[in-house]
Structure 1
């Protein structure tokens, strides 16, 4: 557990942070399970199930936090879309006119009219 936490602090990535949280959940599960020493079989099983439930909840929470961290990184690293220039828009409109004959002529005429080309 300590090693996973050190690695997460040294290089904080969503994967390493999730591994540290999973290691912590596993480390907390072992003593909790060992503490279930009730002599009654039903009480012991209930105690173990409760410890397993806490571990599973911690593992699920670690996965959720990893996904949220990855999404935040993607949003931060995403470059803003640049606006196309009129020249680029006209070239794209011309490229969409890939039909033939009179339809292509009408399409090109419409693109020229829309972008003020003669």
Structure 2
């Protein structure tokens, strides 16, 4: 999805969020290695401010495309403490620069049982 060249590499960071003391949101963020600078990438992923903070890496995200897909887990997800067969929502956001080149990919896996409450919280402000 990031349309990398054959010699380009990607940097990956992961984040887990809790809702009422239970893991409910597991995010994975990928950026091309050429944009990676020190620990700043991990810090912004950990704080959940990835898209706005990208400009500090010299990357202008001019637009994003978000898809939301329901899924059934094909195997146990240890981090979310969910078993095979349980429902999840997959939120996938791709960030594009002004030339419509993908510069960041964010995937969030939400516990399907808690997703309704989480999505209300995320969209209420």
Instruction: Give me the TM-score of the superposition, normalised by structure 2.
Output: 0.19
More helix by share: 1
Larger Rg: 1
Larger RCO (CA under 8 A, 6+ residues apart): 2
Provide TM-score, normalisation by structure 1.
0.20
